[in-house]
Amino acid sequence: MQAASVVHQPETPALPAPYLLFLGDTVEPGYAKTAFGLRDWAPERCIGEYAMPGARVSTGLPAMSPSQAHAAGARALVIGVANAGGVIPDHWVTALVGAVEAGLDIVSGMHVRLAELPALQRAATLHGRRLIDVRRPPDRLPIASGRKRSGQRLLTVGTDCALGKKYTALALARAFGARGIDADFRATGQTGILIAGGGIPMDAVIADFAAGAAELLTPDAAASHWDVIEGQGSLFHPAYAGVSMALLHGSQPDVVVVCHQPGRDRVLGHPHYALPSIEEAIALNLQLGRRTNPLIRCGGVSLNTAHLDEAAARRLLASESDRLGCAVADPIRGGDEFEALVTQCLG
């Protein structure tokens, strides 16, 4: 199977692998999406997991201390959490210092810079370890031009955060490649960048340059080439809609795929806000997307059915496809439904 490729930004450092995935004391699975993403899409680089007391999330990888992981070949501890605000709590620092002392570099996708933690910086200097921040956008980003670029683009969008936009983009890029189509996966968040080895962390870009960053990430290409772009946030999110809007306008997608998790009816971390319907999400993304690409269309719907058994998931996919009048699939389950989604996206 042909793998999707990614343009490596020069600012993205080479990452030391294999990894020990750090879960902190996380209790919400949605906030451990970096760890789950690496487990699912870069399993050859993941040796084990390291959780603090109180954690109620697990990747299913072997539990290891930093010393055990180093002895097993790990070269870096990757912070596998993407919490609200991208913060590193003070009570995590001792665990991170211990990993440095065990011989591991630290890789982080948080907003806070690792070197801004004095105890961690001192330990890294003393032991000769690297502190690597991947949530760092390139310098000298352009302001968006709005110019229509050559090539074709697909953007995954969603009703909320942390429900499958990255997985859907990765699966579609891989499926395009399997059909012999030239396609690149374009990472726009810290987890995608860690998986692909390159990209631009959109939520770390100054607002004036965010749409320009999306243009830079998806440059002119051959007419038959597809950029499959990892979506961020949701146009309906009370905190992160600005990132979603900049990505929608700057990437100028020809096709959007709307992602949703059935059964989730409240915004993750903002329970006083209801999620929109799938129909509302399709309509608003198309309405706003037409500003920079009047020919934008919906290629279908991606449902995260991980909480359902196989039979129930297949029934739901079929009924939602009939109700919405488009292809509806769970890319992780694959099957005929996913092949139909791929075909509909390609037009």
Alpha helical stretches, state H, the chain = 33-41, 66-71, 93-101, 118-127, 165-178, 190-196, 210-217, 241-251, 278-289, 310-324, 335-346
> What residues form DSSP beta bridges with 203?
none
Task: Outline which parts of the chain fall under CATH 3.40.50.720.
Answer: 19-129
The pLDDT confidence band at residue 14, using thresholds 50, 70 and 90, is confident
The CATH superfamily holding the domain 19-129 is: NAD(P)-binding Rossmann-like Domain (3.40.50.720)
Task: Encode pLDDT of 286-313 as tens digits.
Answer: 999 999 999 999 999 999 999 999 999 9
7 pLDDT above the threshold of 70:
no
User: Token pair of 183, please?
Assistant: 């396609």
94: CB partners within 8 A, 6+ apart? 119
Task: Encode pLDDT of 163-188 as tens digits.
Answer: 999 999 999 999 999 999 999 999 99
Q: How far apart are CA 95 and CA 106, in angstroms?
A: 11
Which amino acid, residue 227?
D
User: How far is C-alpha 335 from the chain's CA centre?
Assistant: 23
Task: Outline which parts of the chain fall under CATH 3.40.50.300.
Answer: 152-346
Residue 74, burial from CB neighbour count under 10 angstroms (0-12, 13-18, 19+): buried
Q: How far apart are CA 301 and CA 258, in angstroms?
A: 5
- Please answer whether residues 68 and 98 qualify as being in contact, where contact means their C-beta atoms are separated by less than 8 angstroms: no
11 pLDDT above the threshold of 60:
no
Fold (CATH) for 152-346: Rossmann fold (3.40.50)
Q: What is the mean pLDDT of residues 55-84?
A: 96
Q: How large is the angle between the packed helices 278-289 and 310-324, nearest 10 degrees?
A: 50
Answering whether pTM is above 0.75, one says yes
User: Token pair of 282, please?
Assistant: 């399709």
Task: Encode pLDDT of 229-238 as tens digits.
Answer: 999 999 999 9
